[in-house]
Amino acid sequence: MVRFLQRAVAAGAVVLAAVSLQPTSTATAGTMPVVGGTRAAQGEFPWMVRLSMGCGGSLITPQVVLTAAHCVSGSGNNTSITATAGVVDLQSSSAIKVKSTKVYQAPGYNGTGKDWALIKLASPITSLPNLKIAETTAYNSGTFTVAGWGATREGGSQQRYLRKATVPFVSDAECKSAYSELVAGEEICAGYNEGGVDTCQGDSGGPMFRRDNAGAWTQVGIVSWGYGCARAGYPGVYTEVSTFASAIKSAAASL
Identified catalytic residue from 58, 100, 115, 203: 115
Closest residue to bound ligand ARG by CB: 226
Judged by beta carbon, residue 176 or residue 249, the one nearer ligand ARG is: 176
In whole angstroms, the minimum distance from the beta carbon of 6 to ligand ARG comes to 5
Judged by beta carbon, residue 36 or residue 236, the one nearer ligand ARG is: 236
Identified catalytic residue from 58, 70, 100, 224: 70
Identified catalytic residue from 20, 100, 204, 242: 204
Judged by beta carbon, residue 61 or residue 113, the one nearer ligand ARG is: 113
Whether 70 is a known active-site residue: answer yes
The binding site for ligand ARG (CB under 6 A) comprises 6-8, 21, 150, 198-204, 223, 225-226, 229, 236
Residues 6+ positions from 45 with CB-CB distance below 8 Å: 145, 147, 162, 164, 217
In whole angstroms, the minimum distance from the beta carbon of 80 to ligand ARG comes to 18
Confirm if 64 and 136 have CB atoms less than 8 A apart: no
Judged by beta carbon, residue 198 or residue 217, the one nearer ligand ARG is: 198
**Which residues are designated catalytic?**
70, 115, 204
